[in-house]
Structure 1
Amino acid sequence: MNQKRYHDPMVLHPNLVFTSVGTCGTNQPEEVKKLQRMVMNAGYQQATGRELEISGKCGQDTIEAVVWYQRLLNLSPSGLVGPTDSWFTEALKEMSPHWRQRQPNGPLHVREGQITFDAEGHDYITAVVPYRQHRAPFFSRVLHWPGQNSGVTLGRGYDMGGRSRGEVYSTLRQAGLEEFKAVICSKAAGLKANQARKFVQVYGPMVGEISHRQQIRLFEIIYPYYEKLSKNYYLKYTKNIPDAATWDAIDVKIKEVYIDIVYQGVDDVIVLVKAVASNNPKQLTDVINQSAHYSQYEKERKRIRNLL
């Protein structure tokens, strides 16, 4: 005799808990199951290497999982989740790839620094949760590690390796990132090289993609700093160059390439500024060609082509 098979009952409001779960909670089995499922969907096993059984029983392993996420999100590690903790449960929901909105396409144009924006990453209309369909090492709308001594990077060149937690959090919130994403990313402050690589592996899937507009806003927040830095370099090192062009008189293409070099990293600032001061694209082209540091990135950054 064939046994009838039934689907599991549908759970209403799968991302809300209506009674307390965890330490000293009421721990109704269905509510415990709901929270356990949310935790596992949010990448707990990938991040910690620990699997949480969806059993409906609130044991020490469930409490430890709750505490782990509370600490991750800078909340009091009480081990208890209740109906009023909607921000916490919403964050768990958003960490789950199943619930994320896809961002297949969007704007890729900025008001200033377009050549830098274009050179600092790629975008893919084939992007799918949690990252993308095909391997895309320069896909920029996720946490990534460019390599070597770089820090955890987001968007078009926002490197967190030399920044404080407060600065990272504040900047990302200003760019429009969700609070839980800004909190997680702030923990990457100061990390470089292998530490940054490991952070991306563990927390990258939780943060997921940022939107195109968030990426643009982030770039437009940080780009003026490099404009100002470039100008300061220029004014400092042209004091003894009598025929140097004024900052406002520099050709737009030359200025954009110069700022792009400062944005990525300068080889010899005195030589660079001298070429820019000539206001002659050929002199800056020669500097790029003669520098091993600049030449190695020319294929991706296309500075010489932009000077023509």
Structure 2
Amino acid sequence: FNELSFEDQAAQEKIYLHAQKDYEALVLNDATSHIKHDSHLTVDNDQFSHIKNNQHLTVEGESRDNITKDCSLEVGGSLQYKVAQLTAIQTGREISLKAGTKIVVEAGAEVTLKAGGSFVKVDAGGVHLVGPAINLNSGGSAGSGSAYSGQPAMLANTLIDMKAPAELQASAVSATMQSGQANVITHFEAAATQSAAQKSSASPQKQSEAKAEEKSAQEKSQKEDAQNEDKASLLQSDLLKPSEELEKLAKKQASAFRKGNNGEEVSLIQQALINMKFDLQADGDFGNKTKTAIEQFQKSYQPSHQTHPSYSIGPVDGIVGQGTLLGLDEALVDGWVYENDEMDLKWLTVPKGQLTFDAEGNDVEGNLYFSRVIHWPGNAKSGVTIGRGYDLGERNETEVYNDLFSSGVTHDIAVIISKGAGLKGIDSDAYVKANKYKTEITRKSQHNLFLKIYPGYIKRARDNYEKWTTEPNVSLANISNVNYVDKVQWGKLDSEIQDVIVDLVYQGFTKGPRPMVYGMLNDKNIYP
């Protein structure tokens, strides 16, 4: 049987459709559905969809797929993914990548290939090959991966248009009997006619009044629902819930909080961040530190959607809008804590170049040589410097900003520092004095910045070493009993001697053979 039923009992309203066999729908133009709660679809057999133009899907919360057998994806053009944080792929047997022309793997800090206890690691310190044996041109063959064997998708069935029904023809049946004449008392006709007319005219009027009353009741009910919803508190944390202004923002009825704002609400936001272990003070002033903390929260917090089912934090902009506020509220309820390693002491150790790193400053705040704010080394050829020897004097503003931002320095601080690009001498000194206390970077950012530039100095040191030690006559160095044949190749020099030679270049001592010639003896006990 087929069934279409309606249930109108209060709080149990429902429309039910039951098709005994097939169900088909044909819409000649647009179809729009708005479901204000959950939607559930169960298909006991196969499901086919055929979209003849484009498909757009936006999910503001999580998206989860569970496929118990194979999954095939065929793309006729390009396939592009952009992931803000982590991409993790785990397979039980094999991952095979095959490209018709090239495969490029690029990472900002490190690439590692690991198998069978051996590995190849590429980082700022160089290329590291570790294994029981390093085999070069020793035979063998490359491994081979599985070829693509996905299955193409099947098209959905097409709907056959139903023909419009034929026009109903009038029946040719004629009456076989005639009714008798009416036996009516004529002097009642006028009254009867008038009464019937009154009933006829009263019925539409009453119907109209009933509809108006029903509509008014519905509008009143909707208004009451809206008022009740407006009164209900969205914020759930004990810290943020009491604030009427923050509650308005949670309902998108107030403006966002940003740098330059101040007041009690800013103090509550700061206290929320402090509760999550951000390094901050609840002074009610939305300044650089608060903006940075908000940016770090926006980068690191992954919504659980346990307190607020549907929202997104939004862009990493350091602004507390509706999404970020709901995220802060949910994080407080969940007891989420920010795991911050930006200031970990481990960032004061570098894999290569520790001699230079230590010589280029210290980590004592307020000290003359404190390196995590801009400073000027004090000579006419030096420019504004940040971190352990990153000199802006020969760099342009865009280059400096990109180096800083990619090392983890926040946008605002990177902008201020990069404005000092190209300055030298007293101009550098003046810029440092005007902006020094606006430019503090983290230990991690300083570490990353050093790793970014140090490989370039290794190359320059190697070039200088080759230049000043390739002449057979090294008497220019005034060193007795030393000859060109005594030279040790750069790659075989002791690592500490390499570090000293690189540090000399780092400090600007690039002319003259004397330090290079001493270095070529590869003897740490010789002092020039």
Q: Output aligned runs, 1:1-308, within 5 Å.
A: 18=255, 87=317, 106-107=345-346, 108-124=348-364, 132=365, 135-149=366-380, 150-207=382-439, 209-241=440-472, 242-243=484-485, 244-266=487-509, 268-283=511-526, 285-286=527-528
Over 3 Å counting, the alpha-carbon distance change for 1:102 and 1:11 in structure 2 is farther
Q: Provide TM-score, normalisation by structure 2.
A: 0.34
2:388 alignment partner AA: R
> What is the alpha-carbon distance in structure 2 between the residues aligned to residue 146 and residue 11 of structure 1?
52
Over 3 Å counting, the alpha-carbon distance change for 1:196 and 1:265 in structure 2 is same
Rg larger for? 2
Please list every run of at least 4 consecutive aligned residues from structure 1 whose deviation after the TM superposition is greater than 6 angstroms: 101-104
Asked if the contact 2:397/2:419 (under 8 Å) is kept, the reply is yes
Over 3 Å counting, the alpha-carbon distance change for 1:259 and 1:20 in structure 2 is closer
> What is the alpha-carbon distance in structure 2 between the residues aligned to residue 167 and residue 281 of structure 1?
38
Greater helix content: 1
Q: Provide TM-score, normalisation by structure 1.
A: 0.57
> What is the alpha-carbon distance in structure 1 between the residues aligned to residue 525 and residue 359 of structure 2?
21
Mean Cα deviation higher: 172-181 or 107-116? 172-181
Task: Give the C-alpha shift of residue 85 in structure 1.
Answer: 11
> What is the alpha-carbon distance in structure 2 between the residues aligned to residue 104 and residue 204 of structure 1?
19
> What is the alpha-carbon distance in structure 2 between the residues aligned to residue 180 and residue 106 of structure 1?
24
Over 3 Å counting, the alpha-carbon distance change for 1:212 and 1:85 in structure 2 is closer
Task: Give the C-alpha shift of residue 38 in structure 1.
Answer: 6.2
> What is the alpha-carbon distance in structure 2 between the residues aligned to residue 120 and residue 140 of structure 1?
8
> What is the alpha-carbon distance in structure 2 between the residues aligned to residue 199 and residue 212 of structure 1?
23
Task: Give the C-alpha shift of residue 268 in structure 1.
Answer: 3.6
Task: Give the C-alpha shift of residue 275 in structure 1.
Answer: 1.5
Over 3 Å counting, the alpha-carbon distance change for 1:275 and 1:246 in structure 2 is same
1:182 alignment partner AA: A
Show structure 2 runs of 5+ residues with no match: 1-242, 264-283, 289-313, 321-339, 473-483
2:441 alignment partner AA: I
Task: Give the C-alpha shift of residue 89 in structure 1.
Answer: 6.2
Task: Give the C-alpha shift of residue 199 in structure 1.
Answer: 1.2
**Aligned partner of residue 269 in structure 1, secondary structure:** coil
Over 3 Å counting, the alpha-carbon distance change for 1:275 and 1:185 in structure 2 is same
Task: Give the C-alpha shift of residue 19 in structure 1.
Answer: 8.1
The number of aligned residues is 203
Asked if the contact 2:343/2:442 (under 8 Å) is kept, the reply is no
